């Protein structure tokens, strides 16, 4: 459990707050519009109405007490930059700021952000990968060249074990989980026999997984 401050309760801030709360974190939220705070009150330990470009407002929050500080202001870059810089100067342990453009990210990183997130861009990239390939059920980017894909098995994998197929050596991927409906089998052993209805969570270089996707249901 972590102590988290979220500044800015737009759509992304709302979703972030809800999901962090579901994971058991203690959250404080701040926004200058009271109506944005009200739906989140059941999920947070504290909420405050205030303009965080005002230094006095930020000082009243006890910035250094939080494990994480999210600056989720996407419509006013100047405000986001000012708040990010001030939060870091006040002793924030880790600052994550929202950006919509690469140039914004560069300025945020130079002015106090420890990390920059692009929720709109990341969602668009994930959807593009998922819907441009017929056999990708889900996709998570890990690094520039590595990802986790949820895919069906190749037809000749069905009825054979991971060891028998020599998945890692032959295809240069790792099967980190299998799914059938709502049942998830994490880290299946080498003797696990792949079934037709399995969804395989595979991790590897994008180019290696792409080769497998292109062969599915040939």
The per-residue pLDDT for 131 is 64
Residues paired with 180 in a beta bridge: 183
What is the mean pLDDT for each group of 10 consecutive residues in the chain (218 residues)?
94 92 95 94 96 94 96 88 96 94 90 90 71 76 84 94 94 93 90 94 92 78
Q: Which domains does the chain have, with CATH numbers?
A: 3-117 (3.40.50.720), 122-215 (3.30.70.1450)
The per-residue pLDDT for 143 is 75
Whole-prediction pTM value? 0.67
DSSP calls for 85-147: HHHHHTT-S-EEEE-SSHHHHHHHHHTT-SEEE-HHHHHHHHHHHHHHSTT-SEEEE-SSSEE
The per-residue pLDDT for 199 is 94
């Amino acid at each position: 459990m972590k102590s988290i401050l979220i500044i800015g309760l737009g759509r992304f801030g709302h979703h972030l707050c809800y999901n962090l709360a579901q994971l058991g974190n203690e959250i404080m939220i701040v926004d200058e519009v009271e109506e944005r705070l009200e739906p989140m009150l059941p999920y947070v330990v504290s909420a405050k109405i205030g303009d965080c470009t005002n230094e006095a407002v930020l000082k009243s929050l006890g910035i250094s007490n939080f494990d994480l500080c999210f600056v989720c202001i996407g419509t006013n870059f100047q405000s986001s930059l000012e708040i990010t810089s001030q939060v870091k100067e006040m002793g924030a342990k880790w600052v994550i700021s929202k950006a919509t453009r690469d140039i914004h990210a560069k300025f945020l990183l130079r002015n106090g952000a420890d990390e920059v997130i692009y929720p709109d861009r990341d969602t668009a990239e994930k959807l593009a990968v998922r819907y441009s390939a017929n056999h990708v059920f889900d996709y998570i980017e890990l690094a520039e060249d590595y990802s986790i894909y949820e895919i069906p098995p190749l037809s000749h994998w069905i009825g054979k074990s991971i060891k028998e197929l020599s998945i890692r050596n032959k295809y240069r991927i790792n099967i980190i989980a299998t799914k059938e409906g709502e049942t998830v089998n994490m880290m299946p052993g080498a003797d696990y026999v792949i079934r037709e209805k399995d969804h395989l969570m595979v991790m590897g270089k994008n180019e290696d997984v792409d080769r497998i996707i292109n062969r599915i249901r040939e």
